[in-house]
Amino acid sequence: MLPQAREQFQAMAEGLQLHVVSVEDPLGPSGTPESSQELLALALELALVRERGPALTYEPIPTRLFLEGRADGARGVGRPLLELERALRDPQIPRGRRRALLEAALAQARGRRRAAMTGAGLERHLQALAAVANQMQLRPPFLTEVLGQPWALAFSPAPRPHPPLLPHPLRPAGGGFNPPHQDGYGVSFTGGGAAGPVLVHIACREGSPKTDPRRFSALLRAALAELGRLRGGEGPGAPPEPPLPPQ
């Protein structure tokens, strides 16, 4: 069994690129890991939009209403994030408007996670419709199109033991997240707040013309710095926001 498992693992890992980066928390040490990771998740989606435009993302969410437990999925990117991305590119948009769009995007992301946790998420409804259609031997074009769309990004916080089992210098950097598609990224992250910098694992397949882990990490750093400034963070590595032109 072990030799077979080793061969399967090597086959899965062949052609896989893994880029691990450490990014400073834009909220500074006063932030919490939860708030930092929430902002990082949004920055990941923003970086993806800037790289390839609107695309489908997947975030696994643990459900809370099942005895044995399982994970559901939350779909992005939402309209508030797309509006925020356009506002960040337009120097005529006031800071207050940008910040309102950021809060709207964060609120939508929280709503998606809450719905997935309680079994009310969109992904669960789509899978239930697909199961019913399969029983009735139907192939609705809508379900075929929606469920056939590739995930461009799958991301999740890496699980960490609480309390930590090792002192900070000896703690492992976390796990990793396999890319969901040949042209997609798999990202896991951990840290933030008082826990120190955020460690981000970016995985993708070699040979894809749409992915580049180093390019994506640069887009992520820039997006995270911009969002941190809008939230009022004072973390290092975030250059001051240029002044808006007079109205």
Q: Determine contact, residues 116/63, Cβ cutoff 8 Å.
A: yes
Whole-number pLDDT of residue 42 = 94
Whole-number pLDDT of residue 146 = 85
Whole-number pLDDT of residue 236 = 40
Q: What is the pTM of this model?
A: 0.82
- List the domains of the chain with CATH numbers: 17-118+150-230 (3.30.559.10)
Among 35, 107, 87, 54, which residue's Cα sits nearest to residue 226? 87
Whole-number pLDDT of residue 220 = 95
Whole-number pLDDT of residue 243 = 40
Among 24, 54, 48, which residue's Cα sits nearest to residue 36? 24
Whole-number pLDDT of residue 87 = 95
Peptide bond before residue 132 is cis, with ω within 30 degrees of 0: no
- pLDDT string in tens for the chain (247-residue length): 788 888 877 777 778 888 888 888 777 666 676 788 889 999 999 999 999 999 999 888 877 666 666 677 888 888 999 999 999 999 999 999 999 999 999 999 999 888 888 878 888 888 888 889 988 998 888 888 888 888 999 998 876 655 556 565 555 555 667 888 899 999 998 876 666 678 899 999 998 999 999 999 999 999 999 998 888 744 443 334 444 333 3
* Three-state DSSP state, 205: strand
Instruction: Tell me how far apart the alpha carbons of residues 34 and 57 are, in angstroms, rounded to a whole number.
Output: 20
Instruction: Tell me how far apart the alpha carbons of residues 211 and 190 are, in angstroms, rounded to a whole number.
Output: 22
